[in-house]
Amino acid sequence: MSVAHFDLLKTDTVTAARRGRLRTRHGMVDTPIFMPVGTQGTVKSLTPAHLREIGAQIILGNTYHLNLRPGSDLVREMGGLHGFMGWDGPILTDSGGFQVFSLAKLRTMKDDGVEFQSHLDGKPCFLGPREVMQIQQNLGSDIAMVIDECPPWPCDRDATASACERSLRWAGQCKAIATDTGWLAAGHHLFAIVQGSTYDDLRREAAEALGALDFPGYAVGGVSVGEPEPEMLKQVGATTPFMPADKPRYTMGLGTPPQLLKMIALGVDMFDCVLPSRVARNGLVFTPDGPINLRNERYRADRGPIHPEVANYTSRFSRAYLRHLTVAGEILSCTLLTLHNLHFYLDLMAQARAHIEAGDYGVWHRAWVERYEAGMAAR
């Protein structure tokens, strides 16, 4: 398979940070990159115009949720997910594998897939390699994910090894379907997911076995499932060295701004997380000096912007006004604070790309994290 879809432009000499460029059917993506999460065909409270304004290059949708509501057949009839939601940039869709983990009480693992009870109405549904590939083809995903089994934390070795074996088998089946249907040849991408829980040797075996299958991209799975941050970073660091260097690397479903910078230093190219949009709905906003909660009484008459060093549309409003909207439960607060938080994440990735290019990523990211964490400690 050609690897011309991903150009590795520069690798940092001190850390494993990488500067790259990923080609998709709906445009180029500069990496490292953060991908706003639009689980049900929308990044909550924002329009596609908002997303473009703050520099979003690629967003996410979710196979499991979109197949339940409104249904992937309907989305296909409406022009695919791009046409349905009015977003003309790249879209990555998760396969629903995380729901195998998060909805454990509603599902049954089988060799050929996962039986679910819908969290909406309790109706039975099934996701296996053929189903997730058909759904993602209906959605018109630029980047699809294989279905996998995400072990919980903690997880014993035998159960982890079984999950890795099942995930490898399903990944091979997804790849065969994507090849046989001409989906890969048409320019869509399919990413494999490396599991292994806290077992370094299992992660290496999984990464090498999946690497031999020559996927267009690879993801670190099974992190941010309850383990402490040092263990999470250890798992990422135990996985990325054994992923193909000429393919994009994606860590799924996390994290805080410092965590993203630390994972870039470990060689990760792509991230997604609901955190910046979720906490915005509760009045929490990110700054270079750590997050602040605008519900705090101290901001009641504060005339300043969220932070003097962060410039976006939300910056034109005072902390006092943003606090008022939040405390009053006004819908506009969700839009303005989500816009700010996602811009903060996207701008941080732009800074990271610039410092990798400049050759000083190691020094810059350590200083950035130190300032952020010192600001948190001071509060």
- Model pLDDT for residues 4-19, shown as the tens digit of each residue: 699 999 999 999 999 9
Query: What pTM was computed for the model?
Result: 0.97
Residue 89, Cβ neighbours under 10 Å: how many? 18
Average of per-residue pLDDT across 85-107: 82
Distance CA 357, CA 369 (A): 19
Give the domains, in start order, of the chain with CATH numbers. Answer: 6-273 (3.20.20.105), 280-378 (no CATH)
Look at residue 84 and tell me whether its pLDDT is greater than 50. yes
- Catalytic residue IDs: 94, 272
Cβ count near 194 (within 10 Å): 31
What digits encode the pLDDT tens for the residues 159-216?
999 999 999 999 999 999 999 999 999 999 999 999 999 999 999 999 999 999 999 9
Of the candidate ranges 64-68, 257-261, 310-314, the one whose mean pLDDT is the lowest: 64-68
Write down the pLDDT at residue 100.
Answer: 60
Tokens of 21: 């460029």
Q: What is the pLDDT of residue 1?
A: 37
Give 110's contacts (C-beta < 8 A, 6+ positions apart): none
- Per-residue pLDDT, averaged over 63-74, amounts to 94
